[in-house]
Amino acid sequence: MKAVKVKLAFPSEKPVNFKIGEVNVRIGKIPTSIEQQWADIIIEQYPGWIELVVKKKAAKLSLTTKEA
């Protein structure tokens, strides 16, 4: 199962536990890796509660040389 990184979208010192059936999905202010199916459920049912943490792409290196 694909995993995604998420964190709370609002300031909170305590993490929030989402009970989904018999599964605990605990999300705090520090990015946490959870299964995508749980992230999809929480984002759909509780919009504005969590946000996906997307890894920033490294800047492309320039291959041009400085002219003398």
- Residue closer to other proteins by CB (options 19, 55) is 19
CB of 58 to other proteins, least distance (A): 33
- Residue closer to other proteins by CB (options 44, 67) is 44
Backbone angles phi, psi at 19, to 5 degrees: -90, 120
CB of 44 to other proteins, least distance (A): 9
Q: How far apart are CA 10 and CA 20, in angstroms?
A: 21
Q: Kindly state the tokens that stand for 23.
A: 């599964």
Give the bridge partners for 33, in sequence order. Answer: 5
Contact positions vs other proteins (CB under 8 A): 9-10, 12, 14-25, 41-42, 45-46, 48-49
